[in-house]
Amino acid sequence: MPKVEIYTWQTCPFCLRAKALLNQKGVAFIEYRIDGDEAARIQMVARGNDGRRSVPQIFIDDQHIGGCDRLYELDRQGQLDPLLTGS
């Protein structure tokens, strides 16, 4: 199974939506709650490929996926499941 990581803020509605989709798909993920943690945010930005500071930011097998909208877009296009199953 691919390693799924998500950087979140506890009360962020987009974070909640992204986690809901991952949970719906039965995907285990590592959540990094970075509420007010600037050092963690800097680490998140450094891992990404577009300099985004917004949350959530999602990584699958260290590949930067992006945020909630991108996750749902990949799902609509039928491209998310292959990433989540490693196929």
3-state SS assignment for residue 59: strand
pLDDT at 7: 97
> What stretch of H or E contains 8?
strand 4-8
Per-residue pLDDT tens over the stretch 10-66: 999 999 999 999 999 999 999 999 998 999 999 999 999 788 899 999 999 999 999
Pairing of strands 57-60, 30-33: unpaired
pLDDT at 9: 95
Residue 16: C-alpha distances to residues 1, 46, 49 (Å):
22, 23, 23
pLDDT at 1: 82
Domains, the chain, with CATH or none: 4-85 (3.40.30.10)
pLDDT at 73: 98
